[in-house]
Every structure is written in structure tokens, then in C-alpha cells.
Structure 1
């Protein structure tokens, strides 16, 4: 039996979508991180890398949901529900790509709100001021983008919002493993 199954699966669940994003960006000379949204890479008609991008997001979303349901519920049920919501909305972002226009926008907003919700849960449960700072940084990046068009595209605030959640997601998995598998 693996010694740290939650941590290992959580790292895999992050790595797959992040690698698919990186590969998609590297293979798309038209993509500008300052001028595009990440979802432009997943446009089923206009992007030749859409299968790579959308498959990575959907598989990552499935794995995040699995981590949440199998492992996070051992700590707090609300973490399990919140994590499953993050995973499910990530799957929806992949399924309803930019071809679906308003529906894609709606599920993308739901995904980023679910990330914020998970950070709020983490902040409340663990009283960690760094998670509140991370949430604030994510929100500030979106405010700059939405109100001042800095940057013009959404990719940078999208990546910031994802990056600020990662340490706390990994910490949750570590906490589960320490509580369940370490004496």
C-alpha cells in the first residue's frame, strides 16, 4: 500500500491539467498569455490543440473529484464537497469549451468561484492567514483584468487563481495522509 496516497493522487491531479496547458501553449504559436484566455486553447473549431487541452482539463477534474471524495472527506465533509465541486466544474470547462460561448463563460466563472470557495473553507477550518492572502491575490488579479483590462487576456488571472490554490490543495492532501496513514 502507498504511504501517501492522497498526496500522490493530488499531485497527479494537478500535474495532468498543468502539463496539458503547458503543452498546448508550447504547440500554439498564435497564443499570447497576455492577450488570450487559457480556454482559447480548448476551442474545438479554432484550436488544433483543443483535444490535448480539453482532455487534460477533464482528466484533471475527474482526479480532483476523486481526491476530494476518497480522501478529503476523511478530514471534513465540506472539503470533500468543495473539492468535488472544483473537479466537476473543471470537467465542465473542458466539455463546454469556447464553442458554447455563454455556457462556457458560465462554467468558467463557476470553476474560479469554486476555487475561491475552497480557499475560504480552508481559511475557516485551519485559520491560515496565508490562504486568505492567496485568495486576495487571486481576486486582485481578476479585478485588474475586469476593471482595468490589465492584462487584456484572462490567461494571467486564470493562472494566478490556480497557482494560489495549489499549496493549500497539496497541504490538505498532506494533512489527510498524516492523519490517516502516519502513526
Structure 2
């Protein structure tokens, strides 16, 4: 099985307060490519660009927003917890929409990697074959992350940037998979 690009965190994700993904393109998309990519961003995600990095995220209360855009299967409602939660079928449709959108975005401008962190408060992610395939290929991606790490290191305000978030997330997966990291990426990697 093969996939068009690496997607760390691919699978049936569960969300607590909001949803968020970071996508690193092989180059900065043109204005026309950005418009085409933004046109298909699944609701309730909103795009924010910085060079070749795209961050898409929702506001808080992602469950209410998902429920507005995705129908539930008849009889598919989760047990009440006192908080509003979408049906599992609605979240599944949202995740499927994200996968389809990422694949379409890749056709407009090559994606190097996408990252979606697991939300432990919501129960994490049922990781898919796409995630497993991606982790196996992390050594191929690491050289492309070195310029991103260098740019982050040169910018004192980058510690909480989308680039740093993507770096930390991808490198967390690499450390968990015991992938050897280049020295230039050690600063961004979590401890084992």
C-alpha cells in the first residue's frame, strides 16, 4: 500500500475542543494554488498560511461546528456526558473529508507532510495504515525539515509557531519509532 505523501496522525481522530492540522508543502504554492487549496478546506477548518506551511484549525466547540456540517447516521448518537458531542459518524465523515481534501491539495501543490496531533482528552486517534506508512518513511522526510528547523532557530518568536509545532509533532513520531535524527533537529525533538 502506498500513499501520496506523509501524514503523521492519519486515521479516525477524536477531538475535544478544536481540530488542527499543519501541512508542509514542497514549495510555496502560488496565489492561484493557495486559492484552489483553500476552496476545498473542510468546514469548520479555517486556513492560515506562512510561506509553504498551511495551518488549518477550527474555533473552540468543534463538536457543534462539525454537527452543523456533517449529517449523522440514524440512531448514531454517543452517550451523554453533560457536554455536547457529535455522533461518531459525523466525526468519521469530517476525518474522511480531511483525507480527501489533503489528497486534492497535493494535486495542486506537492505536500511533503501533514501532521495532526492526537488529542488525548478526546481519546486520541485510531491511527490508520497511512500513518504507519508515513512513520516508516520519516527518514526520507528529515532532510527536508532541516531548513524549517534552521528558520525556526533563527527566529526568536518561532517557539510557538506552526513550523515549530509541525517539527515537534513529526519528530515526536520519529523518536517513538526510534528513527535516528540529524543533529540539526535534536533541539526540536522531545525526550524519549
Q: Same fold (TM over 0.5)?
A: no
Normalised to the residue count of structure 2, the TM-score between the two structures is: 0.32
Higher relative contact order, chain-length normalized (CA < 8 Å, sep 6+) = 2
Looking at secondary structure, tell me which structure has more strand per residue.
2
